[in-house]
A and B are shown apart, each in its own frame.
Chain A
Amino acid sequence: MDAVKRYFRSPAAVTGLVLLLIVVAMALSASWFYPREPLALAGRPLIWPFSNPRFLLGTDNSGRDIAAQILYGARISLLIGGVATAIAIAIGILIGAFAGYYGGWVDNVLMRITEAFQTLPNFVLLLVLVAVFGSTLTTVTIAVGVVSWPAPARLTRAEFLSLRNREFVQAGRTLGMRDIQLILGEILPNALPPIIVYASVIMAVAILLESALAFLRLSDPNVASWGNLIGLGRDVLRVQWYVSAIPGIAILVTVLAVSLVGQGLNDALNPRLKGR
């Protein structure tokens, strides 16, 4: 468990983990602090933060409690970040592993498909998917995952290319293992560390992508999300700037936390690269 020890030796990594835990705690405690529906009208619109003890962070332009939306929004951001990342990594590993392990024409076909996806800007593809399939929470999450897989696929492929000719893989083959056993049991566990690290990057980007969609009012309007709140605040940005700024800070903190954790994992899992 050297990796765990190395992780906790880095102050930045620990800061990231603490911030991330705070966001998780916000998500978990949302219904305990605010048992009411966060999108229900709660009071007068546009109350400034810290001016009314009932609405600690004030209200937005429809009179909904910003604090409640921030706490419930944490759930949405983490959910989208987590699920979309899982989708992207799963597709990426599947395609990258087959391309890297078999090589030849399998590799050629799969990599040309990957490149076709990579040539389209992520966000444009996301807009198209949401425009076609609608913007419920489920479709948005899946769409974010689907546009994020090419990078982990290429990373997995590179790892597999370098690992597949190692002697321990050849040894596995002489022992009579099937291809699938070699891929899942021998190569994948050795290829995972850089992929896990990269997952944090995907998670941060996924949260940002959803917020960007919501800002354009293309995300699911029926859930309390940080992006939706920023989108609403756009109308009163010049005077009541806090409506956009507060969820903005929440997004900043979450993305920063995920990135710091990712960086910390990278240093902990690849100790030799550190300090170069």
Chain B
Amino acid sequence: MNQPAPAILTIEGLGVRLPAGADRSHAVSGASLSIAANEILCVVGESGSGKSVMANAIMRLLPNEVSIDAGRVMFEGRDLAAATTAEMRAVRGAGIAMIFQEPMTALNPLRTIGDQIGEMFSIHTELSSTAIREKVLALLQDVRIPDPESAAKAYPHELSGGQRQRAMIAMALALDPRLLIADEPTTALDVTTQAQILTLIRELQKRKKTAVLFITHDFGVVAEIADRVAVMQHGHIVEQGDAASVLYRPQHPYTRQLIAAVPPLTAPPPRKLSDDIILSIGNVSRTFRTGGFLGRGARVTHAVKNVSLKLPRGATLGIVGESGSGKSTLARCIVRLIDPDAGAIVLEGKDWAKLTREEVRRETRHIQMVFQDPFSSLNPRRKAADLVAQGPIVHGTPRAQAIADAKELFALVGLDPSASDRFPHEFSGGQRQRIGLARALALRPEVLVADEAVSALDVSVQAQVLKLLAGLRERLGLSIVFITHDLRVAAQICDLVAVMKDGEVVEQGLAGEVFGRPQHPYTQALLDSIPGGEFARKHETSVFT
């Protein structure tokens, strides 16, 4: 795009005011950008940067207490910031369409897909119902849903996440809008599905010459799809430019910091692994049965099938896989939150799979777990020091001693010990995850099971927590089972990697081997699907340098 195309949407000095008592006065302030036809502009930023609020402000979909208080949003010669509700109704859907992060909640569960897409035509056009039906089928073919005829008759819950997102895109593109706003449309999807959806958006955008405002937190996705990039921090656009220059020659320090925090896809040089196996998992299986009556007609799910893994002392074993691969069930079997049906889990010579509940309760200090969600994994009604001291108190440490130890742990995980009498909601996501880590470490476990422990965190925070984890591994001689869906994260911290698919381990080995020379086709597909793979391999910065 050498000759600058005329801008379709121009935002000039947009300010969006937050209600009093929020952590800053404006969600977005002084934001200016423009999008031309036939280009994809990616807005990148961490959570709380105001990128989604900006998108919603364009569509005027802000909550009541949040309002636009400065600037203009020019679209087709009209200022959307000052448009009436009736004018906005005509623009929404027909002029500007939007797709959301979670297609399950964005679709009405009580109506069929075809019905919901057809609604776009019945609201905005005068087409007959047969014409609408043909249009819907053509759209579903466009987004390459398998078997469009039956997909049109399906309800949202009958489709997979990727298919639902395709249906959302079909709905958004129904009226050939001039601008498509995509708010993290692939964040909730698995990596292979994400790759397909990104290709689809790119392709449809090329064909229909739509302008796309693509909001994401992932620089991999940016590298994959963007023509131009705008970086947001604290409600300000700190840098914008074309994709290549922002990605490879970032100017603003914040952009540099964000890009440096993106984990590269090359494993660090292998460390020497101990011959001493601390945890060995042999032929573990777990099957779930739901529904049915007296054993008949039940739905059987083989969540974990015959999995065997070995964890050397002091090493990190990564278990990677997409959602539904059974990796979280396996993690919960290891700590006995779920009882395995068969197999052995031998920790320091003791078979955990055979222990009674009461024995597990007493032995639990040898193996601890860090959870995924930094918000729901901490009891909101307990102070941070209490949360960390809980474990030792349960196992008989006097309370005063446990609280004093907790403060030392705070320092160990990089938190201010004086903050230990605050409640969890007063900490940020990354800080909470550190509290969760301190809680697990309070019992001085030999093995730590981290279930998606950094997945809910922003990329810069993610890098810090990974670094902390790697440091603690050295200092405390921890052995770690690290469960993640993100291969880039796994490549950073794991010595060994096992790839799971449909409850089975399809490939395992040293991290460098698995990522460098994948043998199984599924592993290869996973690696190929990583957004911005080229970019991830090229840029060298590692979290450990």
Contact = CB atoms under 8 A, between A and B. Distances in A.
Interface of A: 166-168, 170-178, 181, 186, 189-190
| Majority secondary structure of chain A interface residues (helix, strand, loop or mixed) | helix
A166 B335 contact: no
Interface in B381-423: 381, 390-391, 394-395
B435 to A, nearest CB: 11
A168 B337 CA distance: 13
List the 6 closest A-B pairs by CB distance, nearest first. A167-B377, A175-B391, A176-B364, A167-B371, A168-B379, A189-B381
Contacts of B390: 172, 175, 177
Contact of B381 (A167, A171, A177, A190): A190
Nearest to A167: B377
B165 interface: no
Nearest to B365: A176
Contacts of A172: 379, 390
A176 B373 contact: no
B376 A176 contact: no
A171 B369 CA distance: 7
B508 to A, nearest CB: 25
A176 B381 contact: no
Contacts of B365: 176
Contacts of A181: 394
Given A168-B379, A175-B439, A177-B390, 10 more contacts: A170-B332, A171-B377, A171-B436, A174-B364, A174-B440, A175-B390, A175-B394, A177-B394, A181-B394, A190-B381
A174 B379 contact: no
Interface in B491-542: none
Contact of B395 (A171, A176, A186): A176
A49 to B, nearest CB: 50
A173 B337 contact: yes
Nearest to A188: B381
Nearest to A175: B391
A174 B448 CA distance: 11
Interface string B426-450: 0000000000100110010000000
A190 B423 CA distance: 14
Which of A177, A178, A190 has most B Cβ within 10 Å? Answer: A177
Interface residues of B, number: 26
A176 B379 contact: no
Interface in B255-299: none
B24 interface: no
Contacts of B373: 167
A171 B394 contact: no
B382 to A, nearest CB: 8
A176 B363 CA distance: 8
A18 B316 CA distance: 62
B350 interface: no
A177 B394 CA distance: 6
B207 interface: no
Nearest to A192: B381
Given A167-B371, A167-B372, A181-B394, A174 B377 contact: no
Contact of B337 (A170, A176, A178): A170
Contact of A167 (B364, B376, B391): B376
A86 B50 CA distance: 48
Contact of B364 (A166, A175, A189, A190): A175
Contacts of B381: 189-190
A143 B394 CA distance: 39
B59 interface: no
B379 A190 contact: yes
B362 A176 contact: yes
A178 B377 contact: no
A17 B381 CA distance: 26
22 contacts: A166-B377, A167-B371, A167-B372, A168-B378, A170-B337, A170-B369, A171-B369, A171-B378, A171-B439, A174-B369, A175-B368, A176-B361, A176-B362, A176-B365, A176-B391, A176-B443, A177-B361, A178-B361, A181-B394, A189-B379, A190-B380, A190-B381
Contacts of B378: 168, 171
Contacts of A166: 376-377
Contacts of B443: 175-176
B294 to A, nearest CB: 15
A133 B394 CA distance: 45
Which of A170, A175, A178 has most B Cβ within 10 Å? Answer: A175
Which of A171, A174, A186, A189 has most B Cβ within 10 Å? Answer: A174
Interface in B61-100: none
A175 B442 CA distance: 9
Contacts of B372: 167
Interface string B308-329: 0000000000000000000000
Nearest to A190: B381
B31 to A, nearest CB: 28
Contacts of B332: 170
A78 to B, nearest CB: 29
A164 B478 CA distance: 30
A162 to B, nearest CB: 11
B281 to A, nearest CB: 17
B335 to A, nearest CB: 5
A119 to B, nearest CB: 26
A168 B380 CA distance: 9
Nearest to A275: B64
A186 B364 contact: no
Nearest to B357: A179
